[in-house]
Structures are given as C-alpha cells and as structure tokens.
Structure 1
Amino acid sequence: MKSIFRLCVLLCAFACNAQQKGSFLNPLLTSGPDPWVTYKDGYYYYMHTVGNHLELWKTANMAKLGEAPHKNIWTPPATGPFSKDIWAPEIHFLRGKWYVYFCADEGDNQNHRIYVLENSAADPMEGTWEMKGKVSDPADKWAIDASVFEHKQKLYMIWSGWEGDKNGEQDIYIAEMKDPFTITGKRVRISRPTFDWETHGDLNDPKLPHVNVNEGPEILKHGNKLFLFYSASACWTDFYALGMLVADGNSNLLDSASWKKSTKPMFLQSPETGVFAPGHNSFFTTPDGKQNWILYHANDNPGDGCGNKRSPRMQPFSWDKNGMPVLGKPVSVKTPLRMP
C-alpha cells in the first residue's frame, strides 16, 4: 500500500508540475507602460516606454517575456527635438524593412512630435537603426502614440493629437502615407472624447490639468471589419479604459463618417480582480493564428497613477457571432492562464 501511495504522490506532483509549466501569471514584467508587440518569422518583438532610450525584446513565447533577451537599440542625443520624454515606441515590419515609431520632445511636452527609425537587417536586434526624421501632416500639431497599418495596399498612420496648440483634449487622427516615413495629405479627426467615460482627467487635483483623452490607437482586423481601439480618460486616473471604433473594410478610412464609435468602454478597471487603469494595448495571435490575445498595461492598486507602476499583462479574447471582439474583464495577477 505504501508503494502505491508513493506512486500516487509522484504522479500528482508530476501532473501539478506539468500544469505549472503550461501556465503563467501576469504581469509579464514588473514594469512596462504602453506595451506593443509584433510577430515575424517565429519571434515576437516587444517594446514599451522606457523614457530615455528604446529597448527591444525578442521571444518565441510572449508568456516567457521576462526571460527574453533584450537590448538598447537606440539612445537619443543629449539635446534636440527628440532627446527627451521618449514614449510609446512601436516596431513594425513594412515593405521589407523594420521601423520604430515613437514620440519625443526636447523637454517641453508642448513640442511632442512623432519620429521614426529604419533598419534594413533581417533581425531587428541586429543591424543599424537610422533616424529618418519627424513624421507629420501639414498641420504639424502636438502628436503622440503613433501606430501604422496597411489596408488594401495602402499605408495609414493613426495617432493622438491636439486640434490646436493648447492642451485640454486629445483626439484620434488618421492620415495616409506614401511610404513608412512620409504622410501624404491632411490629417482627419475620427474620434474625440465625448462620453462620460472618456472625460475623467483632473482626479480632483488642481495640480493636474483637466484633459479629455483619446490616445494610444491600435488597429485590429477581423473579417471585413477594422476595429480601432484607443485609450480613454487620463492615464493618471483609474478610469483609464479602452474604447473602440469600427469601420467597414470597403469604406473610405479617411472619411470620419466611416468610423462608428461604441457608446460603452470595451475594457475597463476591475476592482474585484485587482486591476486598475487598463489601457494602451496591442493585439497578437499565436503563430498558427488560432488564438487571439490582447496585450495591455495596468496597475495593481487604485491611485497608482501614470508611471512605472504600470505593468504589461496579456490574456486571450474571443469573437461573438457578429464578428465583434469580446475582451472580457482584466484577469487577476493571481489567476493562472494557459500559455499561448
């Protein structure tokens, strides 16, 4: 009987160990605001806001991001228009080359603009990153959180910006690009914060500006629909959440009427699971394309604000019968998730 009991204990331990090896817990890193990931040739390439340089991670499994090699791929000059406040970098493979888009200024937030680097190496962890300069439409207003996507052989940039020259509201803009570093034509505003859940900005603190926010736009394609997810309300509030615009794939994406906004947030804080201010997301699939995942940052406690307490997390999501994304609720950091 003792030998049978020992065998059962060993089998149980083996099964439990196998289960642990097949699962993971959020967060993926202890800190990492504004996470972004893209996939190519068997590897995921990940970035987040570091602030004073650009860091790139490479991994075959996003659940093991904490074990992945990473390196500083670009350090800004000591002075100049893109020397400070380097936010929201994204790496993209476009038309045979790698590009990293980021926003920066010289130390004055009013001068934040979008910049791009280019690398022709097959592996973006290698090669040389060349500054291609500022990416701007003719208006050249304050701009952050750029993302780029291709649709029907056309290239588009989406970003968050000011309509004028004063802070107070951040809107979502789109413009067509003739190449990965040149916008052609005027920007088009496709979203501005109008619902209550988009307009939490002052946190009852007179030291903080009151701003109504739409920022961090990201594209998700499914069927013949384009979904543009964005972050709403100020990032220093717990009300930071994800909103969504939808456009038909055959519509004119440069026509603001083509984009229909959801009246309710799609992903928001979950005090019952201990997740606050979830936002600034991206999406990825497993290599076989069968599983869909959302990557986002969030805080563990209310009032943690818009700093380095924000950590990257990921969880699977699904689609409903109408082809609409169902993101669910942010998962607790204590909840094991099956590895993708």
Structure 2
Amino acid sequence: MGRKLKSMRRMNKRNELVVIALCVIVLFGAGLSCSKSDNPPIEIIEPVEETTFTNPLITGADPFVFKDGDTYYYMHTVGNALRLWETEAIEDLASATSKEVFRPTAGTPNSRNIWAPEIFKLDGKWYIYYTAGDGDDINQRTWVLENSNSDPMQGTWEDKGKIYSDQADFWAIDGTVMEHGGKRYFLWSGRPDKTNTDLTQKIYISEMTNPWTLTGDVTLLTEPEYGWERNGFGVNEAPEVLKGPDTYFMVYSASFCGTDDYALGMLTLKENGNPLVASDWIKSDQPVFTKKPSANAFGPGHNSFFKSPDGSEDWLIYHANPNSGMGCSGSRTVRMQSFTFDSNGKPNFGEPVATGLEIDQPAQN
C-alpha cells in the first residue's frame, strides 16, 4: 500500500509540472504572466489509503497460499499447467504478478486434468505438489516438482515424479504436507477401489522420508460417514492442516463439489496424539463451514490458511460459487475472511462473508 501512495504522489507532482508548463506556453504567447504570484496555487489532493477489500478476489478454484517472509505465494487450478502468483497482499491477488512455472509434455502420465497445486518451502528448497493424470480419471495421481532457487518465480522446476506408497497406489488427489514433532507427513484424498467403480473418496496419511518419498504404513484418517459428507456421493478431500494454540486440526472438504452443499469438515488431533494413529484424531459430527445463499456462497470449500502480514491474524481462503447449481465449473471464485480460535482453542470460521461487502484488510506490519 505504501508503494501505491508514493506512486500516486509522484503522479500528482508530474501533473503539477505539466500544468505549469502549459500555463507558460499559453500565457507567454498572449503576453501574460504565469508567475506563482499571479495564479492561485495548484491544490495537490493526497490519495486516501485503502483499508478494506471486497470478495471475490479472483476467478478460480482450489486456492492455496504459502507465506515466506513478507511475500505470499498463491496457486489455484488452471487445468493444463501450473501457475504461480506472487504478492505482498493477498487481497490484491487480481493485480498480482503471476507466471506459468510448469507445463508437462503432452501425452505423459501427468499431462492432463492438473488440479489443486500447493507450494511449500522444505529443507531450503521449493516444492509444488499437484494432481494430474493422462486424461483417464482412474489414473489421477499426486506429483512433485522441486526448485532449488531461493525465488520460486525463478530457477528450474524439476519433475520428481509421482509421490505414492506401494500400499496405496490408487486414485489419489489433493496432496498436502504436515510438519509435526520433528517429522513430516503427506496427506491426500484417495479411492481405494482400483476399478474406480466405487467413487467414495477418503483421506489418508503417511510419513515422508524426503519431500518426494513416502515411507511406512498408510493410515486411513477419515471417510464419509455423515449425511453432510455424502451429498452427490461420499467425498472427503482437500485436506489442509491448521496449527492451533494447543494442537493441530485437519480441515477437509466434504460432499461432491457438483452440489451446493460442498462444505468443510474437521478433525482435531488429541493432545500428544500421533498423526499416524486414526483414533488420535477426533472428527466433528457437523460441518464447520457451509453455504450461505444470502452471501452468494454456494458450495464453499477446498480451502487454505494463512497469517496476516504482521502475523497477528488467521485467515481462511476458499472457493465458492456465486449462484446455485453451478457445480464444479469455472464459475467458482476465490474469497477470504479472517477467523479466530475460541476459548477451547478450536477454530471458529463463522459463515461466508457476502460478496461486495467491505472487509478490513489483513493487519499490516
């Protein structure tokens, strides 16, 4: 915001000089004076600093944000490639710099249906996890790219291949990373039926030996149990890890995205719990974030979390449709809003904020 104000002040100064120059040219030709004493001073109107924003931020689905220092890196599904955005203010996403960082070779196993990319900085290098296949739905898997450049907008992205376990090499999407207790874990949504007859999606977790390799047992963390997880058909997908004041949460998307009732569910890790032990996670029997027609928010889900620039606020970013019946189409838009933790240390996401409503910007440094 400070850069915007300085730029506008420079513009006002240039405009002042242009006006004076024109005055000299026109009045000198008429034999008149153009001195400051003969003319009223030019009023310089200082711009008012913006302190609010409105949703939606941008058209897109499956938003993800990673904050590194003062910079936010953002990704969402574009379908045939991977695009990375860079900004110091997520609310200004529509005007942020973006760059296509990877486009797979046509005909390869990861060249079609590219979904849900997420970027992380791990062990001093950058990694992008994404879903892709060869065009046949049964072959959708999760994949990894690596970039050793300190700036992920630069350097070369190396294809590290598919990330999977021999125990669970089946349809797998929406991969994300969890760091806890000095260990690193990978979570994803999968269909264990290799015939793809049963479309039920479940969420799994496995330990990582490095950013592109899984090791040990694969644990089923959650599967659709409640009615609100089975609209359309049973879906638990898009796991996202949130570190709270006292423990960790895993927030996921439930029900088919083609319905208006796509929503967020949540698991809570018990105190001193082991992420690989399913019974150490407590599942909420109600959704934690749902549609709100009066706010033009249908099917809100596939979220991510980030901190404000000064680190004092927690923010939720997610996609939703502006109208009923739009499903999993390109009509979805990205929105964001702040949330808090209650007295028990659990997140309270509230309800979707209406589009067009003025919202205070994230707290600045």
Residue 94 (str. 1) matches residue 122 (str. 2): yes
SS in 2 for 1:164: coil
CA distance in 2, matches of 1:294, 1:66: 17
CA distance in 2, matches of 1:274, 1:43: 30
Structure with larger Rg: 2
- Partner in structure 2 of residue 207 of structure 1: none
CA distance in 1, matches of 2:246, 2:162: 32
CA distance in 1, matches of 2:270, 2:319: 28
- Partner in structure 2 of residue 24 of structure 1: 53
Q: Which of the residues 331, 346, 356 maps onto 1:309?
A: 331
- Partner in structure 2 of residue 137 of structure 1: 165
Residue 212 (str. 1) matches residue 229 (str. 2): no
SS in 2 for 1:230: strand
- Partner in structure 1 of residue 39 of structure 2: none
- Partner in structure 1 of residue 190 of structure 2: 161
Contact kept, 8 Å, 2:270 with 2:282, in 1: the verdict is: no
Runs of 4+ in structure 1 over 2 Å off: none
Give the drift of 1:163. Answer: 2.1
Q: Which of the residues 215, 230, 236 maps onto 2:252?
A: 230
SS in 2 for 1:212: coil
CA distance in 1, matches of 2:124, 2:113: 29
The two structures, once aligned, show a CA RMSD in angstroms of: 1.4
Contact kept, 8 Å, 1:112 with 1:142, in 2: the verdict is: yes
Render the CA deviation track for 1:269-291: whole Å, top value 9, x for unaligned: 00122211000000001132211
Contact kept, 8 Å, 2:165 with 2:218, in 1: the verdict is: yes
- Mind listing any 5+ residue stretches in structure 1 that lack a counterpart? 1-9, 202-210
- Partner in structure 1 of residue 25 of structure 2: none
Q: TM-score, normalised by structure 1?
A: 0.91
Residues 99-248 of structure 1 aligned to structure 2 (within 5 Å):
99-138=127-166, 139-165=168-194, 166=196, 167-201=198-232, 211-248=233-270
Residues 261-280 of structure 1 aligned to structure 2 (within 5 Å):
261-280=283-302
CA distance in 2, matches of 1:41, 1:196: 41
SS in 2 for 1:169: coil
Equivalent AA in structure 1 for residue 218 of structure 2: R
Distance 1:182 1:69, change over 3 A: same
Equivalent AA in structure 1 for residue 234 of structure 2: N
Equivalent AA in structure 1 for residue 313 of structure 2: Q
Contact kept, 8 Å, 2:244 with 2:341, in 1: the verdict is: no
Render the CA deviation track for 1:239-293: whole Å, top value 9, x for unaligned: 0000000003521111110111101000000012221100000000113221110
SS in 2 for 1:272: helix
Tell me the matched-pair count: 316
- Mind listing any 5+ residue stretches in structure 2 that lack a counterpart? 1-42
CA distance in 2, matches of 1:294, 1:252: 25
Render the CA deviation track for 1:300-320: whole Å, top value 9, x for unaligned: 000011011111110000111
Render the CA deviation track for 1:82-112: whole Å, top value 9, x for unaligned: 0100000000001110000001000001000
- Partner in structure 2 of residue 84 of structure 1: 112
Residue 72 (str. 1) matches residue 94 (str. 2): no
- Partner in structure 2 of residue 323 of structure 1: 345
SS in 2 for 1:304: coil
Q: TM-score, normalised by structure 2?
A: 0.85
Residue 35 (str. 1) matches residue 66 (str. 2): no
SS in 2 for 1:330: coil
SS in 1 for 2:92: helix
Equivalent AA in structure 1 for residue 56 of structure 2: P
Return the structure number with greater strand share.
1
CA distance in 2, matches of 1:230, 1:87: 16
SS in 1 for 2:209: strand
CA distance in 2, matches of 1:273, 1:312: 14
Residue 294 (str. 1) matches residue 319 (str. 2): no
SS in 1 for 2:261: coil
Render the CA deviation track for 1:14-34: whole Å, top value 9, x for unaligned: 8xx747x111111111x1100
